[in-house]
Structure 1
């Protein structure tokens, strides 16, 4: 093809697609922002580059080590690349896309959570609580719900969040409200 052996074409395509994949990994967020291309899950650049990389790698290996016709090698390489790209799409890219999580939280997310008092909440004053979470710990100023003193080390429940201040009550793990 083009006066070159197929092995050479496959290896050039492999180097180019592998290099573009590396560049895309490094600059994907910036490129997505610049070009603002609508995101179609089956026509994403990572799938196209993955297809070209696997197609060229398998085509090169088949050309080098098998004695089959060039058209048959191209079809087999395309089939292998298609299967691997589908597996990548469904078992890697879709779970990664849905696993994107933010560490941001809203004040409403904190209501009802259990926290520990780290600075005593004085009567008619403010103390500080520490909220443990899967993504880390959050420290917030706190006041008592009934303006009572809550000593340091006490477990509390956040009743209400207002302007960054938690209104808390002592937490009783054995209390079961009657409905």
Structure 2
């Protein structure tokens, strides 16, 4: 049985080392391989928690075999309990918080509606100009037209009223 414990432990350590060194490369090759594990209600079956549990099972089995006089059945039960406990801790302390922090910095042009900006190139009565809109920490220049059909001069504060055909239709903010 000690060979199984050593096998689990060595596999877990090697998996961790390979993941740390070649994680991005392997991730791109194996993209989607573990998608079957992301079934609703089974999101705790992440490779990190599974391999971590396997490593803990092997390591605790080795330690209990070497340093205690427990029967092998008790060692296996204690090792399984340690693996389950540590997998649960890894999931709730590391995996779940990391999943919750994943977000995208992308945005849709539809997000501009209601945003306040400034005209950088004068918008003619029946033409197009350019406005500067702040989204988060970034500033974006977009093509704009007058919503009210009025000339809006450079430097004027505006509000985005509508987005149509990738054009922001803006109105003077003071109006």
Q: Residues 103 and 135 of structure 1 are in contact (CA less than 8 Å); yes or no, is this contact kept in structure 2? A: no
Match of 2:116 in 1: 114
Q: CA deviation at 1:17?
A: 1.7
CA shift in 2, pair 1:36/1:90, >3 Å = closer
Q: CA deviation at 1:34?
A: 5.2
Q: CA deviation at 1:143?
A: 1.4
Match of 2:94 in 1: 92
- Which ranges in structure 1 are unaligned for 5 or more consecutive residues? none
Q: CA deviation at 1:100?
A: 3.3
Q: Residues 57 and 79 of structure 2 are in contact (CA less than 8 Å); yes or no, is this contact kept in structure 1? A: yes
RMSD over equivalenced CA pairs, Å: 3.1
CA distance in 2, matches of 1:34, 1:72: 35
What TM-score, normalized to structure 1?
0.71
Match of 1:67 in 2: 68
The count of corresponding residues between Structure 1 and Structure 2 is 167
Give the secondary structure class of the aligned counterpart of 1:166: strand
CA shift in 2, pair 1:78/1:110, >3 Å = same
Q: Does 1:31 align with 2:30?
A: yes
Q: Structure 1, residues 42-75: CA drift from partner, whole Å, max 9, x if none?
A: 43333211211222233344455x3342444443
CA shift in 2, pair 1:75/1:34, >3 Å = closer
What TM-score, normalized to structure 2?
0.73
